[in-house]
Structure 1
Amino acid sequence: MQGNLREIDIYSILQMIEAGQRTGLLCVDTCNSNHCKQQTYLIFVSNGQVVYATYGDTSLSRLRDYLHLYDGNIKLEQKPINAYITWNIPEYQYLWQLLTENRINHIQANSIIYGLVHEILFDLLSLHQGRFIFDSTSLLFPHLNALKITPILSRVIKQVQDWKQLYPYIQSPDQCPVLVDMAQLHSALPPATMTKLEHWADSKTSIRQLARYLNCDIFTFAKAIHPYVEKGWVKIAFLANLNQVKHQLTRKLEHKSTKLIAYIGNEDYTSQVIESTLKAHGYEVIILTNPLESIGFLFKLQPDFIFCQIAMPELDGYEICSMLRNSTVFMEVPIILVTEQEKLVECIKAKIIGATDYLTVPFGNNDLVMLVEQYLESDMTSKINNTC
């Protein structure tokens, strides 16, 4: 059995394996949508039940994370240690060794396996492209555990569906939380929870890893921090983008008088003109080309002024503006929608969803600077009057 995930999804494949009480290895080779990185997943089944699931590598990082729950002093070396196991999977081999040495018990070993399988299924059920092959000759022995497919599938698929409610603030289990507003978090969270978060949320630890450390599944942890991400007390970013975010935050703190302006849209001539013109007039400018990821960046950076292109894939300018206006963080920040055609219906819609104004392409450099200065000065005057 083999094929393409566009023709048949993982859910249906696993149901067929369960119904046919199949034994073997389901191998899925796919492209991670967030990083365009090739990833391989392995699911071992026996008589229609899952006995193990892992990535197609020899990393021990997942097992190390789970072992923190039971014994943080366990040291693992990345080498095969149990020759009697039919597959060279260090993760699985070490589980057997720890069990036979009585360093973990059967309940703990089964709990770890459940968590490992749950993670793999969560990733796979979120995918829509890639290839799969089921090989009935690839067997994993001996077995530590066997999980019925239907119950765990039902649980995971509901979490995958519920995960969409966390958008756009949380997009991936591989994003890293950073604690920002410590005072607000201390007032809202129990001391024990706050202590754990302060220990693990170091800007380098992903949601996926934090869920392992705190002994809960990915969605449960993400749902728990979602309200605080939405309020801006916790920031979320992919590890690869954290340096850029930290740089912008540092620059903003060091130069409080320098206004930060964000442009959301395609990386084209318009973005180049906005960036070069406004930087020449002393503004900090950041260009965000991914509409979905841009929301998270905006809450991290909290710019003083936002340009947003109307025509974009996935999320258009109207949707982004509406989302921002629903947050107290951006209720008064000037948001300018950028359009290539000045139409009455667009002007009306822009006002309805809360846009401050719109900018028609092409535009003059002087007009751009005057527009920014007009609304930044107006915003500053309003804040002074409100304070007085």
Structure 2
Amino acid sequence: MELDNLLGAFTKCNQLQYNGKLDVKDIRGNQWTFYYNLGQIVWATGGINPHRRWLRNIALICPQIDINKLLIQEEEILIDYWDYLLLENLYHKQEINQAQFNDFVVNTVGEQLFDLAQQANISGLTWECSQDTILKAILTSTTTNIFIQEMKKSWDDWSKAGLINFSPHLSPILTKPEKLKQQVNNTVYKNFERLINGKHTLWDLAAKMQQSTLAITTSLCPFVNQGIAEFVQVSDLQLSTKKVKLNSSSKSVQKDNCFIVACVDDSLQVSKILERIITSEGIKFIGIQEPLIALPMLVESKPDLIFVDLMMPLVNGYEICEQLRRISIFTQTPIIILTSSDGAFDRVRAKVFGATDFINKPVEKDQILKILNKYLQISETEHPQNFAWFC
């Protein structure tokens, strides 16, 4: 009954062509978040062992990516849908292709839905919808109805195999290796010793061996029943992250009572011009020339106003603006688009993606000061020496 009610919520979101997210929680405090775009599930995050899931799917679907060389910013992990942003960045940088992006989404959503089916059988679930975050659908062609049908089939097969009480997040470990040696040949034993060591979950083993989780689990159950192996709980893996290094104009940025203004523009010249104008008003400035790392830097520094260039390689101003509006701390932050175009279409489109205002290039001091006065409520008569008390 619990699962039926939850599936009713998923179906209703689909029928209403819902844009937003559906948060599901269990009594243990676990939370799963499903993101909808026009009624279709485009991503799912949270749940149990989210780092394992992301690393596992990278290794399975995107083998060309060297996980050990994949540098993840610490600040990126603070965003609720960090896993989606990492995947999106890999796609924009053309490090993964369309099919890989799509398969990654399908695998992730499928695993999350299966988890919910099992949790509904164990404990009570609660859920609620909110529209504070809307992710765009990049590629996923799988509909919500297909996701639900696949989940029902997977859970039905799992139940029929007598595995209701076994979670794919459990890890098998050998408890009586000598007894196993008596039953299998040396090659099989070596494989058991290498893989059945309490380091890999059933999900992990299925990905490594490219078999279904159901097949892996049922093949191990006889050894568990004999006491040769057992299933144990394991913790999530740690992602390898690095701290964002801010540039010279933004070192030791602290909010205190000072305003902070950021600029995302691949042109160093434009950034330097803005820096001179803005810092002359006693305001701290952050210049970001790499748009793909803009989000974590902005999350760390939490600027009060953000300038974004419209035309940049790999990620344009529309996308940056849209990504910022998905993050709760930036829903009300003024975002000013820098553009060389006077076209009404660009302005209307940027408004749709969440832009607050526009400035035409080349930038001029009067334009910038007008924007600062308008959105930071700085009096035109204030000068750096008078502004110092506020900082």
- The TM-score, its normalising length taken from structure 1, stands at 0.49
